[in-house]
Chain A
């Protein structure tokens, strides 16, 4: 699989990074998001995803918690660490993993939103992202 794929939409202003290793899921999200006018980049690898997040100004980062090399929780922790450079991107956790209550509420505190992928359709996701400013 190529390191990361980028689908550009000419009319867009909002940039989205999807860090997700489940290809079929990211495919569905890319389809819905580009139709929704977003400029979408997909990265399957945690470490590379974090690098992209740090070096590019994304409006929104969709972060899966179970990705290779670095877990999503670690990516979130590093991006939101007190000493880290301030990141303007909104971080939306998209996961099917279940956490212990304490872990989940801690993730929710650090992220801008927490979504269970099975509970939301791609179009609902696009609608939801529209509400995040």
Chain B
């Protein structure tokens, strides 16, 4: 402040001097004109006007430059440190100027400020950047919505605006469901989850797959998303939950189409089979006991053929599933003897017609097994179907189930037919492979063993065949006792274990099937 006061007093004296000079000039002019020259009053007036005009022009011009000197110097100092004009030289402060102390002081302040800014920039350049959350949310290339307690939208990022074709302003404060229509593959919806989270959790997040999303104006177009939701009970600034969408429409459509044709073909095949079986059923019901033995036999054979067709259709479907990596098994705790009995019962009529006895020796006290009931039923059916087809002159089929040395439940299906030559035995479980003899006289597609192997593999078991020509064949497979399977899974969720054709399925991973 001293400097400033000194500067003000310097200014005061300079302005005073200028004013005195001006008055002196006028006085001198008057003196010369009046006393020395003795000019007339008119001439005196003219001379005074001229001197006044001259002094009013010259004196401000001279003094302004002088008085503005401090401002110029400070301005030059600022320009010197400013990044765009750094080529301007630093002001020369040695020159004698008005307010010299003030200028020196101010310029040194300017330089200090510059060095502080420099330091901040330098430290920021080395520190990880602190990205503002708004920036991240806006730039996130995935559609994102932030909702308040009432599920009204408080924020929609740029990607969401692009998806919905609406501006952020149009969406803000709207209810979520007035903007988008979400449908989930299970009852576990976003709403249900959020209600639950509100009751129990402080912070929670959840992922859904195959969420269908429809926007107003989408028409029939369905988009499929994986959805991640985040909930925070703290509710900072109106925020309660956040939704982030991963568009997976193309992937899922591709998945769907993978089975699309097969699924359609299966449906088209099943309709006539349903009718065929229905009509045969009606005939059997009403003609029971009224037909001669030959026709009764034909009717049974018709029924069996239709049943075989049903099984075949399921095989096609399941092979397609294996190949699309879509065979999903739900392994439950089951009683193995019950499953064996179910299959042998299914085949009893066919066996009787062919004059073959099916003998089932199931070890007592077998532990419960961890299997997908429908799938293992199919495996046993395929093996029994083969045994019946290839029994030839053999009149007996033996099914045996024991707990083997490795602690696995081992089941074998033995026939006493023609057997399989050693040369072809290695290919039996390949797709479409049918042994030489079967190509001519026995029906089938060669899918059964391929599928059985896929199913048993997925169960964590093993399937094999032993055969000797003219003595018959034995097909065997192992499955895991339930306790062993649950041990292997070790995630505590023992009641419902899911497996795919190629191993375990992670239940909660975002991109697993």
Contact between chains at B275 and A25 (CB < 8 Å): yes
Contact between chains at A118 and B185 (CB < 8 Å): no
Contact between chains at B317 and A98 (CB < 8 Å): yes
The residue of chain B having its C-beta at the shortest distance from the C-beta of A77 within the complex is: B183
Query: Which residues on B sit within 8 Å (CB–CB) of A122?
Result: 278, 281-282
Contact between chains at B267 and A97 (CB < 8 Å): yes
Question: Which of A3-11, A44-52, A54-62, A109-117 interfaces with chain B?
Answer: A109-117
Q: Taking A100-B259, A106-B185, A123-B285 as contacts, is the C-beta distance between A28 and B267 under 8 angstroms?
A: no
Of the residues B209, B210, B270, B280, contact of A118 by C-beta under 8 Å: B270
The residue of chain A having its C-beta at the shortest distance from the C-beta of B186 within the complex is: A106
The residue of chain B having its C-beta at the shortest distance from the C-beta of A24 within the complex is: B275
Q: Is B170 an interface residue (CB 8 A)?
A: no
Query: Which residues on A sit within 8 Å (CB–CB) of B209?
Result: 102
Of the residues A24, A66, A110, A119, contact of B187 by C-beta under 8 Å: A110
Q: For the complex, what is the distance from the CA of A110 to the CA of B317, rounded to whole Å?
A: 24
Q: Is B345 an interface residue (CB 8 A)?
A: no
Q: For the complex, what is the distance from the CA of A28 to the CA of B285, rounded to whole Å?
A: 12
Contact between chains at A96 and B267 (CB < 8 Å): yes
B182 shortest CB reach to chain A, Å = 14
Contact between chains at B270 and A117 (CB < 8 Å): yes
Q: Which of B266-290 contact A (CB under 8 A)?
A: 266-267, 269-271, 273-275, 277-282, 285
Interface size on A, residues (CB 8 A): 27
Q: Is A132 an interface residue (CB 8 A)?
A: no
Q: For the complex, what is the distance from the CA of A117 to the CA of B280, rounded to whole Å?
A: 14
Q: For the complex, what is the distance from the CA of A105 to the CA of B266, rounded to whole Å?
A: 19
Contact between chains at A28 and B271 (CB < 8 Å): no
Contact between chains at A96 and B270 (CB < 8 Å): yes
Which of A101, A117, A118 is most buried by chain B, counting CB atoms within 10 A of its CB? A118
Query: Which residues on A sit within 8 Å (CB–CB) of B266?
Result: 96, 98
The residue of chain A having its C-beta at the shortest distance from the C-beta of B276 within the complex is: A118
Q: Is B296 an interface residue (CB 8 A)?
A: no
Contact between chains at B277 and A118 (CB < 8 Å): yes
Contact between chains at B278 and A28 (CB < 8 Å): yes
Query: Which residues on A sit within 8 Å (CB–CB) of B330?
Result: 105
The residue of chain B having its C-beta at the shortest distance from the C-beta of A118 within the complex is: B270
Query: Which residues on B sit within 8 Å (CB–CB) of A28?
Result: 275, 278-279, 281-282
Contact between chains at A118 and B310 (CB < 8 Å): yes
Interface size on B, residues (CB 8 A): 32
Q: CB-CB contacts of A85-104 with B at 8 A, as 1s and 0s? A: 00000000000111011110
Q: Is B299 an interface residue (CB 8 A)?
A: no
Q: Is B256 an interface residue (CB 8 A)?
A: yes
Query: Which residues on A sit within 8 Å (CB–CB) of B185?
Result: 102-103, 106
Q: Is A78 an interface residue (CB 8 A)?
A: no
Q: Taking A97-B263, A98-B267, A100-B326 as contacts, is the C-beta distance between A121 and B281 under 8 angstroms?
A: yes
Q: For the complex, what is the distance from the CA of A101 to the CA of B499, rounded to whole Å?
A: 12
Query: Which residues on A sit within 8 Å (CB–CB) of B259?
Result: 98, 100
Query: Which residues on B sit within 8 Å (CB–CB) of A119?
Result: 310, 314
Contact between chains at A116 and B270 (CB < 8 Å): yes
Q: Is A31 an interface residue (CB 8 A)?
A: yes
Q: For the complex, what is the distance from the CA of A28 to the CA of B271, rounded to whole Å?
A: 13
Q: For the complex, what is the distance from the CA of A98 to the CA of B271, rounded to whole Å?
A: 12
B211 shortest CB reach to chain A, Å = 12
Of the residues B187, B263, B280, contact of A106 by C-beta under 8 Å: B187
Of the residues A29, A96, A102, A109, contact of B210 by C-beta under 8 Å: A102
Q: For the complex, what is the distance from the CA of A28 to the CA of B278, rounded to whole Å?
A: 6
Query: Which residues on A sit within 8 Å (CB–CB) of B278?
Result: 24-25, 28-29, 121-122
Q: CB-CB contacts of B174-212 with A at 8 A, as 1s and 0s? A: 000000000001110000000000000000000001100
Q: CB-CB contacts of B239-283 with A at 8 A, as 1s and 0s? A: 000000000000000011001001100110111011101111110
Which of B185, B274, B277 is most buried by chain A, counting CB atoms within 10 A of its CB? B274
Q: For the complex, what is the distance from the CA of A119 to the CA of B317, rounded to whole Å?
A: 14
A–B pairs, 29, beta carbons within 8 Å: A24-B278, A25-B274, A25-B275, A28-B275, A28-B278, A28-B281, A28-B282, A29-B278, A66-B267, A96-B271, A96-B274, A97-B267, A98-B262, A98-B317, A100-B259, A103-B185, A105-B330, A106-B185, A109-B186, A116-B270, A118-B270, A118-B274, A118-B277, A118-B310, A119-B310, A119-B314, A121-B281, A122-B278, A123-B281
Q: A24-B275, A117-B274 are in contact. List 6 more A-B contacts (CB 8 A).
A: A29-B278, A32-B281, A66-B267, A96-B266, A118-B273, A123-B281
Binding site for B on A (CB under 8 A): 22, 24-25, 28-29, 31-32, 66, 96-98, 100-103, 105-106, 109-110, 116-119, 121-124
Binding site for A on B (CB under 8 A): 185-187, 209-210, 255-256, 259, 262-263, 266-267, 269-271, 273-275, 277-282, 285, 310, 313-314, 317, 326, 328, 330
6 cross-chain pairs, A with B, having the tightest CB-CB distances, nearest first: A96-B270, A28-B278, A118-B270, A121-B281, A101-B328, A117-B274
